[in-house]
Amino acid sequence: MPKITFYNLPEDKKEKLINAVKKEFSRVPLYDASISNIVRSARIPRGSFYQYFEDKEDAFFFILNGIVINNNNNFAALLRKHNGDLFDSMIDFFQYIIKEEENVQFLKNAFLNMTYKIENSFANIFRNRENNDNFREISSLINTSNLNISNDQDLFHIMQIIFTVTIRNVVEKFAKELSKQEALGNYIIEMNLLKNGLANKK
Amino acid sequence: MPKITFYNLPEDKKEKLINAVKKEFSRVPLYDASISNIVRSARIPRGSFYQYFEDKEDAFFFILNGIVINNNNNFAALLRKHNGDLFDSMIDFFQYIIKEEENVQFLKNAFLNMTYKIENSFANIFRNRENNDNFREISSLINTSNLNISNDQDLFHIMQIIFTVTIRNVVEKFAKELSKQEALGNYIIEMNLLKNGLANKK
DNA sequence: TGCATTGATGACAATGTGTCATAATCAGAT
DNA sequence: ATCTGATTATGACACATTGTCATCAATGCA
């Protein structure tokens, strides 16, 4: 988390800084990014950067969370829109991610270097801003009647699986530079396989 | 790929070097590792490192591939053992990965920082050493009669899904420091969900 | 006005990276 | 045994980056 000093900054300076940070992390992935570039580009002295952020990671995750949480289009909203249908909501969500234009480069770098920590940051999508006790909140919105579950644990695993496969499809899109159509096509195939099961029903 | 010079090295020196590299990447993940540490620990001059490897990544992937390809226990062998049953083979494979002791720390660092590139390196598990045209090779070993597929593309997606979920489970094991039992338990639940489908059959 | 708190600044030590000119070694030909 | 070209070894060096810290400036409030 950025330090208080950062939040106290006048809007325009804050924005200048955010832009510089975004720019650098759009250029290269987290571990290739350099603070020197950021301060150069934001025209602030080096010491100031450390007045605002703990380190590179701190700045990175601040931006990432911003993009993820950003608009109200959080996952709960999608679930409501689709009357609790998990699969339809995910397909909607997938399209939303891959059509994002403003931060493509940033997201590309993030997805192609999706470490466990970064992936967890993305999991915030499934959290409500107000409520950290996300699983309850979200699971209550899911129409479980058309899911193959016998308990809460199953639901948890189902969400885990869907989330993982989704991320993987986004990564694939970036890595292989698939068109939106291709990526969506693949994703829908996989969602259907997940729905119906990979094994044959006799 | 290491340079020829590396392969020309006398066995003992090569081994000393490999150990030093492993040690450093067991200490910290790829991007925190330092070549300085490696040469210090291997007691070779800095210049020599660059005689053998392109850079840090090069050394890292050399070791990683070594661990992955290593023993003949490749995926094809597992498939044969299980008469082509993809799920049983994967569960066997999963256990094999999490019971690995010798390179735990190295693998932990690798899994918790599983970028697209690293993940691809793991995909080598599904490749035959001799044959690069892996998909053909492997898919011919899979008993597709109990899979829910209508064409080759489906099979590809199924393998993609299973691979992704498997990796994710290994990552989870390391991240949350699950016991082998817990990790295996979770994995089996998810494999069954995948088999039978996440959606309800009416 | 004066004091305290907060913020700004950039020089600096520490560490790392990759290169390169030079030296050592080796292997084969004579 | 000696010469020679090719390969390998070596470590100093230029350059980049990081995080810190002593110092200075600004702000606000009594």
Which residue positions in chain A have pLDDT lower than 70?
A: 70-73, 125, 127-134, 202
Contact A184, A95 (CB under 8 A): yes
- The pLDDT assigned to B128 comes to 56
Q: What is the pLDDT of residue B28?
A: 97
B29 touches B107 (CB < 8 A): no
pLDDT of the residue at A148:
94
For chain B, the residue count is: 202
Q: Which residues of A touch B190 (CB under 8 A)?
A: 157, 160-161
Protein-to-nucleotide distance from the CA of B5 to the C1' of D24, whole angstroms: 56
Asked if A199 and B148 come within 8 Å (Cβ–Cβ), the reply is yes
CB atoms B164 and A160 under 8 Å: no
pLDDT, position B37: 98
Nucleotide nearest B45, from its CA to each C1':
D10
Mean of pLDDT values over B20-30: 98
Pair A170, A163: CB distance under 8 Å: no
- What one-letter code names the amino acid at A107? L
Protein CA at A35 to nucleotide C1' at C11, angstroms: 17
Which chain B residues are closer than 8 Å to A148 by Cβ? 193, 196-201
Whether B115 sits inside 8 A of A115 (CB atoms) is: yes
Q: Round the average pLDDT of chain B to a whole number and report it.
A: 91
pTM: 0.92
pLDDT at B75: 82
Residues contacting B113, CB < 8 A, separation 6+:
A115, A116, B29, B30, B31
pLDDT of B58-113, one tens digit each? 999 999 999 877 644 578 889 999 999 999 999 999 999 899 899 999 999 999 99
Residue B32 has pLDDT above 80, yes or no: yes
Predicted local distance difference test score (pLDDT) of residue A128: 55
Q: What is the mean pLDDT of residues B154-159?
A: 94
Torsion of CA B185, B188, B189, B190, to 10 degrees: 120
pLDDT category, B138, cuts 50, 70, 90? confident
How buried is residue B169: exposed, middle or buried, by Cβ count under 10 Å (0-12/13-18/19+)?
buried
Determine the residue among A91, A198, A201 to mutate to test chain B binding: the one whose Cβ has the most chain B Cβ atoms within 10 Å.
Answer: A198
A51 to chain B, closest Cα gap in Å: 23
- A107-122 pLDDT per residue, tens: 999 999 999 999 988 8
- B81 vs B67: CA distance, rounded Å: 21
Tell me, what's the pLDDT at B170? 96
Residues 6+ apart with CB under 8 A from A27: A33, A37, A105
